[in-house]
Amino acid sequence: MANSGKDTNGSQFFIDQAPVSAFPGWDNFQRAYDAYRQNPEAFVAQYGSEWINMDKASQSYQKAYEKYGGNPYLDGYYNIAQKGHTVFGQVFDGMDVVDKIASAATNDKGKPNENIIIQRAEIKKYEG
């Protein structure tokens, strides 16, 4: 859910497309979090605040990203600075549709040249 700060969620949302192969691995997030805990101000000054609070990252949360990919550092709840977006779902079936949307021609600002309309979507509890 796109927003411009805490408690500002609106009706705009986006689908973030990142393949499993692009996922940096939880060990990298853990090392970064350990460095953050040693000196938060210096860490944020050098690397920014878009890092995972690994104290909140449960095993089931981690396994979902390992299996399906994505960008967990965008999730505001898990972000060390509690800045980011509200992640309310993850595509676990139908990635071909997401890939087709991602391949649409865009202008120089990244906006699709033609409107992309999602005519139907289902929200299901993942049973994997």
CB atoms within 10 A of CB 24: 11
Rounded Cα–Cα distance for residues 19 and 1 (Å): 20
Residue 88's domain comprises: 1-128
Supply φ then ψ for residue 108, to 5 degrees: -70, -10
On whether the CB atoms of residues 70 and 90 are closer than 8 A, the answer is: yes
% of the chain surpassing 70 pLDDT = 90
**63: pLDDT strictly greater than 80:** yes
| pLDDT at residue 17 in the model | 78
Q: What is the rounded end-to-end Cα distance, in angstroms, of the chain?
A: 24
| pLDDT at residue 48 in the model | 87
| pLDDT at residue 40 in the model | 94
Rounded Cα–Cα distance for residues 77 and 23 (Å): 19
**23: pLDDT strictly greater than 80:** no
Question: How many domains does the structure of the chain reveal?
Answer: 1
Which region among 43-47, 56-60, 77-81, 102-106 has the lowest average model confidence (pLDDT)?
77-81
**pTM, 2 dp:** 0.65
Q: Which amino acid is at 64?
A: A
